[in-house]
Amino acid sequence: MEAGAPPQFTLRQLAYFVAAAETGSTTQAAAQFVMTQSAMSAALYDLERAVGTQLLVRYRGRGLELTASGRALVPRARELLRAADDLQGAGGGARRRTHRSTVHRMLRRHESFASSAAAGRIVATLPRTSRRPGFRDPG
């Protein structure tokens, strides 16, 4: 990659990769983000293409295993995600984190929620103070 050129992957793909590495399963990782397993797999394949190496060995129906490159990437991906989270928090000063990051934290705590209906129920339980400024409750 040229100096100053933007990366060819996203922070979201890195978060998906870390979740897959931690759970050992694209299905379980997908559940954390309330998405389908096939969408998770596609995002992980795109990440592998962007970094130019295989990160995961997939065993159909039996989970996955990290390659040497994947094991090397996990701590760096976590570091980038922490830095992005810190940057996001610094950008708002005393303001609370956005609605989306609040939902993400809740989903990470409750891995069993695998449907969009469950995500909707989680959002409905958020205190109004954690919602995005200007959010209008339809109810």
Rounded distance between C-alpha atoms, residue 18 and residue 101, angstroms: 16
Residues in Cβ contact with 70 at an 8 Å cutoff, skipping those fewer than 6 apart:
17, 21, 54, 55, 56
Specify the pTM: 0.64
Q: Is residue 117 classed as helix, strand or coil in its secondary structure?
A: helix
Chain segment 25-80, per-residue pLDDT in tens: 999 999 999 999 999 999 999 999 999 999 999 998 889 999 999 999 999 999 99
**43 — phi, psi (to 5°)?**
-65, -40
Residues in Cβ contact with 115 at an 8 Å cutoff, skipping those fewer than 6 apart:
34
C-beta of residue 110 within 8 angstroms of C-beta of residue 122? yes
Residues in Cβ contact with 128 at an 8 Å cutoff, skipping those fewer than 6 apart:
137
2-11, 47-56, 127-136 — which one is most confidently predicted on average? 47-56
Report the pLDDT value the prediction gives residue 61, as an integer from 0 to 100: 82
Q: Which tokens go with 138?
A: 């339809």
C-beta of residue 18 within 8 angstroms of C-beta of residue 77? yes
Rounded distance between C-alpha atoms, residue 28 and residue 114, angstroms: 9
